[in-house]
Amino acid sequence: MGTVAWRLGVAWMLAFAAVHVYWGFGGTALLPEGVSVLDSLAMFVIDLVAIPLCLAGALLAWLLRPDQRRGRLVGRRWLTWPGTVGAAVMLVHGVSGLAFALLPWLGAGEVPAQERWSLLYEPWWLLGGLLMAATVRGYRVSVRRSQSLQRKRREASAVAAAAQTASTSHSPTRA
């Protein structure tokens, strides 16, 4: 899943950024009827902030792809922290949004009209969080695997060197 997760994560982030750009220019598709991001300064600012965050997330998922050479893998280990934080934020946003949207349904048996849109948006946040978490996990597994291979190569090299030293140290000396 790690090799597929980063690709899907990049696609998810770029699609999310594109939707925010569309909304920033006044588009209203995928928004509740009569709602535009341009009608509210707060929504417009949130929309503008979301665009670079989505692009940074796409870059981060691309940098954490597991199919890199070992030097790059190890050098980019510090990127697992922002990836983990990003995944956690998206997961918490999705779970809490779904919970708040479904709580009225559990109590009254019906989801209010203004909360129905949350049932459309919040699963996308969950998907983004799961993809980023899978990307980070795939990256960590890849780093561990490359370190394990390097350790095995070192041990094999040490055994070969020891065997060569042992075979040459007992040779007769010339006088």
Average pLDDT of the residues in 7-24: 96
Is there a domain that residue 126 lies in? yes
pTM here?
0.78
Listed residue (14, 12, 6, 48) closest to 126, CA to CA: 12
Is there a domain that residue 173 lies in? no
- Model pLDDT, residue 106: 76
Vertex 120 angle, CA 103 and 19, to 5°:
140
- Model pLDDT, residue 91: 97
Listed residue (38, 89, 86, 73) closest to 144, CA to CA: 73
Find out whether 138 and 66 touch, Cβ atoms under 8 Å.
yes
Q: Residue 22 — pLDDT band, cuts 50, 70, 90? A: very high
Is the pLDDT at 174 greater than 60? The verdict is: no
The total number of structural domains that make up the chain: 1
Integer Cα distance of 132 and 138 in angstroms: 10
Average pLDDT of the residues in 73-93: 92
Q: Is 172 left (phi over 0), alpha (psi -120 to 50) or beta?
A: beta
Domain that holds residue 141: 2-162
When comparing pLDDT for 78 and 58, which is higher?
58
Is there a domain that residue 44 lies in? yes
Is there a domain that residue 124 lies in? yes
Question: Lowest mean pLDDT: which of 4-18, 104-118, 135-149?
Answer: 104-118
Is there a domain that residue 167 lies in? no
Is there a domain that residue 96 lies in? yes
Is the pLDDT at 175 greater than 60? The verdict is: no
Is there a domain that residue 154 lies in? yes
